[in-house]
Amino acid sequence: MSIRVLGVIPSRYASSRFPGKAIHSIAGRPLVEHVYRRCLQTEILDEVVVATDDERVAEVVRGFGGRVEMTSSAHTCGTERVAEVAARHDCEIVVNIQGDEPLIQPEMIQGAVHALIQDSEASISTLSVSLSNPEQISDPNVVKVVVDCHGYAMYFSRCPIPFVRTDGGEGGTLPDYAKHVGLYVYRRDYLLRFVTIPPTPLESAERLEQLRALETGARIRVVRTGWDSIGVDTPDDARLVAMFLEQGSEA
């Protein structure tokens, strides 16, 4: 029996730093359309849906021929929006594709989905990319992840992890820092349970939702990818992405 995979793009109009960014035009197309088209380039997704609570976003998605489903305005995060849509669909795997990642590569989605399908012990899979820029390593807006010898996440943090101690003795070698790439693949049953779990202490401290899964015992498979992406959080980010798209290059 084949495994059915649903891709969901949570997309909202409201944004404190960039209101209306989901429908902001980048290189001639709305931001959400770029993400949607990237998702359609992978054969592993049986269906792609934009999940939104705003009719302005929904109208734009319908305008370019995309599938859209309306969700509750009471959700506090994209994961809850994705779970609402997943609850309506008959599928085994659900992919949460960030609605502000217009440079996401189909290979990234495929790699994360395959990893979860092949690993019966994992409830979630996600991605990481090598991180060597010292400014990014220390930047709290760049989330880092450490992984065990078997490929499972041990911890995610806004701090530089692992810490390198250089005072006396041996050591001080720069470790293989890894940036977390915020693409999540869930087993549908686990996702529907996950959104019923209250926020946990580490999640609240770091403001990283994936820590709730680790704190409550879930295993997260982390796939190293050679691709990175650029999230659009500000108008400056949109201009940078437009430059890449217009030049026909990738991040």
The CATH number covering residue 26 comes to 3.90.550.10
Give the pLDDT mean for 111-126. 97
Q: What is the pLDDT of residue 173?
A: 63
Tokens at residue 177, please?
């820092």
173: in domain: no
Share of the chain above pLDDT 90, in %: 78
42: in domain: yes
For residue 246, what is the enclosing H or E element?
A: helix 235-247
Which tens digits make up the pLDDT trace of 192-209? Answer: 999 999 999 999 999 999
Whether this model's pTM surpasses 0.85: yes
Closest CA relative to residue 220, chosen from 150, 157, 152: 152
Q: What is the pLDDT of residue 24?
A: 93
Q: Give the chain's mean pLDDT.
A: 92
Q: What is the pLDDT of residue 158?
A: 97
Q: What single letter denotes the amino acid at residue 240?
A: L
38: in domain: yes
156: in domain: no
For residue 181, what is the enclosing H or E element?
A: strand 178-187
For residue 116, what is the enclosing H or E element?
A: helix 106-118
27: in domain: yes
Distances (CA, A) of 160 to 55, 66, 139, 148, 214: 40, 39, 8, 17, 19
Which tens digits make up the pLDDT trace of 133-155? Answer: 999 999 999 999 999 999 999 99
Which tens digits make up the pLDDT trace of 25-36? Answer: 999 999 999 999
Give the pLDDT mean for 34-55. 96
Q: Is the pLDDT of residue 120 over 90?
A: yes
- CB burial readout 126-155, b (16+ within 10 A) else e: bbbbebeeeeebeeeebbbbbbeeebbbeb
Q: What single letter denotes the amino acid at residue 242?
A: A
37: in domain: yes
Residues 6+ apart with CB under 8 A from 169: none
- Split into its structural domains, the chain has a count of 1
234: in domain: yes
89: in domain: yes
Are 95 and 36 contacting, i.e. CB atoms less than 8 angstroms apart? no
Q: What is the pLDDT of residue 84?
A: 98
Q: What angle do CA 91, 33, 249 make, to 5 degrees?
A: 110
How far, in Å, CA of 139 to CA of 126, rounded?
21
Closest CA relative to residue 241, chosen from 9, 4, 33: 33
Domain that includes residue 15, residue range:
5-127+180-247
Which tens digits make up the pLDDT trace of 142-189? Answer: 999 999 999 999 999 999 999 887 765 555 566 789 999 999 999 999
